[in-house]
Chains A and B, each alone.
Chain A
Amino acid sequence: MKGFYIRWGGLILVGLWIVAVGTQRYNRDVRPLTPEEVLKNHSPGPVRMLGMVDAGSLRKDTATSQILFSITENGQRIPVVYQGKDTDNLRELKTLVLVGGWDDASQRFVAQDIALIPNYGFIIAAYLVMVPLALFLFMMERRVRLLYNEIKQSKLYEPEVREFE
């Protein structure tokens, strides 16, 4: 049974390592920043910023053909200039994720793209099904080992004694 528990311990360590690497990648590449974090760090980008388009702020600059608006999240407002492709997703009062960076010269967040709002809570919930699945497999394997041991101890395979030899 010792080898069995060591193997499962190794599997748990591998699982924890995958979770740690996934969390690290999420925090580094995927997690959207708040306008407050962008202003604080002056992130030149490319970063993702989550917020809601302010009511009445959306307008198009006819001279430069750029779209200007401001984003609000938790009471913090940040001016944005959007330079990406035209999209129907850009509407007032809509919460969205902007991909771009802070521009110190213009004092605006320059966005090149609009990304989907991630549903990571649901994704993690779906992957958590693997936990009871692993537990189910562990219980079955453990039962097999215990049954083997029990059969061995009961000497099921002991050869019969021939009395007349």
Chain B
Amino acid sequence: MYVHVPFASTSMAAYAVLTVASLWYLWKRDPLIDNLAHATAGVGVFFTSGALFTGSVWGKPTWNTWWTWDARLVSFTILLLILIGYLMLRTFVEDKEREARYAAILAIVGAVDLPIVHFSVEWWRTLHQPLSISQRGIAIAGVMLYPLIFMSVGFYLLLTYMVGVRTQMLYLKQLLEAKKGRLLGEVHL
């Protein structure tokens, strides 16, 4: 629980950042913001996969199954597939500007899945437990809540750091390519 919940929470936060960055890119057309969105998607795939894996590990002793066609599980897997699709799209398109635009549109359309993931346990009868922190109150004992908050804060810091490093990595790659003359007109130095 202290790994799965922070993984799930941060992966949804990563997708929210991706959506905001995509909207921002379509508005301002700033390549640095596109780098941020691209980096968030890459790190988001890792966190979303982590959430699914740890959830599966938790499900085996609790539900006696690694996987079930539950609304929360399915909607979360769709989130992972959208992120993988986003990264694949970025490798298929030749023109860098078009690549960034198409990817941003895909990310914004895919954001429809975010509220579905969050409210799936409320809207449908699922095997997954309902929201532990909601308007009804907090359904977690204090002895478990504080370590969970501690782990969640740690995961959010890790996500922020990893997105920062990956954004830097993508920027430097573009810078180097610009130096080599392949993308000279497309990178803002």
Enumerate chain A interface residues (CB-CB to B < 8 A): 119, 122, 125-127, 129-130, 132-133, 136-137, 140-141, 143-144, 147-148, 150-151, 154, 156
Contact = CB atoms under 8 A, between A and B. Distances in A.
B50 A127 contact: no
Contacts of A133: 46, 50, 158
Given A126-B4, A133-B46, A151 B168 contact: no
B58 interface: yes
Contacts of B58: 122, 126
B125 interface: no
Given A126-B57, A137-B162, A140-B162, A151 B172 contact: yes
Contacts of A147: 169, 172-173, 175-176
A26 to B, nearest CB: 16
B54 to A, nearest CB: 5
14 contacts: A122-B61, A125-B57, A126-B4, A126-B58, A133-B46, A133-B158, A137-B165, A144-B169, A147-B172, A147-B176, A151-B176, A154-B176, A156-B175, A156-B176
Nearest to B178: A156
Contacts of B54: 126, 129
Interface in B49-72: 50, 53-54, 57-58, 60-61
Nearest to B1: A126
B166 interface: yes
A72 to B, nearest CB: 23
Task: Decide if the interface of chain B is mainly helix, strand, loop or mixed.
Answer: helix
A19 B61 CA distance: 23
B46 A140 contact: no
B173 to A, nearest CB: 6
A10 to B, nearest CB: 16
A14 to B, nearest CB: 14
Interface of B: 3-4, 7, 46, 50, 53-54, 57-58, 60-61, 158, 161-162, 165-166, 168-169, 172-173, 175-176, 179
Contacts of A143: 169
Contact of A119 (B61, B165, B173, B176): B61
Contacts of B46: 132-133, 136
Contacts of B179: 151, 154, 156
Contacts of A141: 165
Contact of B168 (A125, A130, A144): A144
A92 B50 CA distance: 39
Given A143-B169, A151-B176, A154-B176, A129 B50 contact: yes
Contacts of A151: 172, 175-176, 179
B165 A140 contact: yes
Contacts of A125: 57
A133 B161 CA distance: 12
Contacts of A140: 162, 165-166, 169
* Nearest 8 interchain pairs by C-beta: A147-B172, A126-B54, A119-B61, A126-B57, A126-B3, A140-B165, A129-B50, A144-B169
A147 B4 CA distance: 34
Most buried by A among B57, B60, B168, B173: B57
Contact of B3 (A129, A137, A154): A129
A129 B175 contact: no
